Amino acid sequence: MKEDFLHYIWKYRKFTLKKLNSSSGELINIINPGIHNTDSAGPDFFNALIEIGQQKWAGNVEIHINSSDWYAHNHQTDENYNNVILHVVWNGDVEVFDNSNNPIPTLALEDCVDKKLVNTYKRLIGSKERLNCTGQLTDIPQLIKDSWSERLYFERLEEKSIRIKKLLEASKNNWEAVLFKMLTRNFGLNTNAEAFASLAESLDFSVVRKCFDSQIKLESLLLGQAGLLNVDSDFDYVIALNKNYEYLKSKFRLSNDGVLPFNFFKLRPPNFPSVRIAQLSALFATKKSLFSVVNETSSLEELYRIFSVEPSDFWKTHYTLTKESKSSSKKISKTFADLLIINTIIPIKFAFNKSKGQLNEIEGLIHLMSQMKSEKNRIVDRFKKENIECNNALQSQAFIQLYNNYCEQNRCIHCSFGNYLLKNP
């Protein structure tokens, strides 16, 4: 039993409403359960209206598993709980008093809730499967699946907007700088995201911008700051990179002490940090004001063209700075561009449009996501095994949000799928 289940029971009145009695025997009539407090400290429900005995009371409701939790949480000394008119619990094990030593009416719900609902809840929460609702998702109407997916995706965008806002404040409202930091991080994918982020943090964007006029200069800056130029190499290109970096390091008084080490282990060569940095350099060297460019773009095909860049010729025959390899294109692939658009471009465009009040533009972003193919990862695979369709990137992002923020944390009560299963056991 978890407290959030009791919140659900109370909020939606999933208990017998007739002949409710307090622990002291007074008749209780729930006129209004109150407003659920999901944001701040204090009682769980505000502004409830409850008739206890012959008296109507307006005030707050506090919910616990055991009534003794009142004392475990020290509510008896907290003035925020002085206006609690009813203590709702699963198990009434002790009588409770406020800080003026007045008894607080207590309602124990254990014998008032349908056992079928309780068993359904316990079955969900107690599941040993990766998804608590394994084997039950096909019972959920498609309308609920679609509306929940869209809500989950907006929830994910809102979470990313909070992080973007912090980056924006740190960069003094420079959207170009924020995009550089976000893209740099995401070029590292999961394995090297933190290392790439530390690389972006090691440089003032004004320095980066001064290198946009030359691809080799930008490569020198980023590879040098990443510590990847500290190699023995006879290649003329690598020698030129080192020479450029030493000049830039001296000119701008650069330090890379805070840059984390980059991981090459178990990566496929196209994902080597050296290749990704070369691609990143090519992108910013060919698109001087990248944020302005992508923000004015509403077509998916145009976004693909923006990311269709290839590093300098050296990289055609190299994955690293020390070893030659068979000639191959190092152009940013469409699959990698998809990841960048999904995880960087759409979120920053959403945050920008939201900050400017341009809510009509957000519908276009949803359309873009609906056009893109679903991502391929273990989370999407788990839902597909349950015969849940995942036809586009919006849905795959929704599933990631659902799994990480709800399934992994056993928050079935807060999930539309979980709610449906509880209402239809």
Provide the residue ranges of all domains of the chain, joining segments of one domain with +.
Answer: 3-113, 204-349+358-371
Q: Which of the four pLDDT bands, split at 50, 70 and 90, describes residue 285?
A: very high
Q: Which of 331, 304, 337 is nearest to 315 (CA)?
A: 331
* Strand pairing class (35-36; 27-32): unpaired
Mean pLDDT of 153-165: 97
Mean pLDDT of 124-147: 92
Mean pLDDT of 302-319: 97
Looking at residue 99, what is its pLDDT? 86
Looking at residue 360, what is its pLDDT? 86
Three-state DSSP class for 20?
strand
- CB atoms inside a 10 Å sphere around CB 209: 18
Percentage of residues in the chain having pLDDT higher than 90: 92
CA distance linking residue 392 with residue 346, whole number of Å: 14
CA distance linking residue 308 with residue 344, whole number of Å: 16
Looking at residue 39, what is its pLDDT? 82
Mean pLDDT of 95-101: 90
Residue 188 CB-half CA count within 13 A: 22
159's tokens: 């979470």
Looking at residue 166, what is its pLDDT? 97
Place of tokens 């980056």: 167
Looking at residue 359, what is its pLDDT? 84
CA distance linking residue 88 with residue 71, whole number of Å: 14
Evaluate if residue 29 carries a pLDDT over 90: yes
Count H helices and E strands in the chain, helices first.
18, 7
Looking at residue 128, what is its pLDDT? 87
Looking at residue 289, what is its pLDDT? 95
Evaluate if residue 259 carries a pLDDT over 90: yes
Q: Which of the four pLDDT bands, split at 50, 70 and 90, describes residue 203?
A: very high
Q: Which of 88, 2, 12 is nearest to 422 (CA)?
A: 12
361's tokens: 């533009």
CA distance linking residue 342 with residue 373, whole number of Å: 10
Q: Work out the mean pLDDT of the chain and round it to a whole number.
A: 95
* Strand pairing class (84-91; 45-52): unpaired
What is the distance of C-alpha 372 from the center of its chain? 20
Evaluate if residue 40 carries a pLDDT over 80: no
- How many angstroms separate the Cα of 316 from the Cα of each of 57, 229, 321, 330, 331? 77, 18, 12, 6, 9
Percentage of residues in the chain having pLDDT higher than 70: 100
The set of residues, in sequence order, having a beta carbon less than 8 Å from that of 3 and lying 6+ positions away, is 63, 64, 65
Secondary structure letter of residue 364 according to DSSP:
H
- The one-letter amino acid code at 270 reads P
Q: Is the dihedral of CA 140, 142, 145, 151 positive or negative?
A: negative
Residue 72 CB-half CA count within 13 A: 9
Looking at residue 1, what is its pLDDT? 81
Burial (CB count within 10 angstroms: exposed 0-12, middle 13-18, buried 19+), residue 309? buried
User: Do residues 240 and 229 make contact, with C-beta atoms less than 8 angstroms apart?
Assistant: no
CA distance linking residue 194 with residue 268, whole number of Å: 19
User: Do residues 205 and 180 make contact, with C-beta atoms less than 8 angstroms apart?
Assistant: yes
Longest dimension (CA), the chain: 93
The set of residues, in sequence order, having a beta carbon less than 8 Å from that of 125 and lying 6+ positions away, is 2, 5, 132, 410, 412
Mean pLDDT of 187-203: 98
Residue 103 — φ and ψ, nearest 5°?
A: -65, 140
Mean pLDDT of 406-415: 94
Q: Which of 279, 259, 257, 255 is nearest to 269 (CA)?
A: 279
User: Do residues 224 and 211 make contact, with C-beta atoms less than 8 angstroms apart?
Assistant: no
What is the chain's length?
425
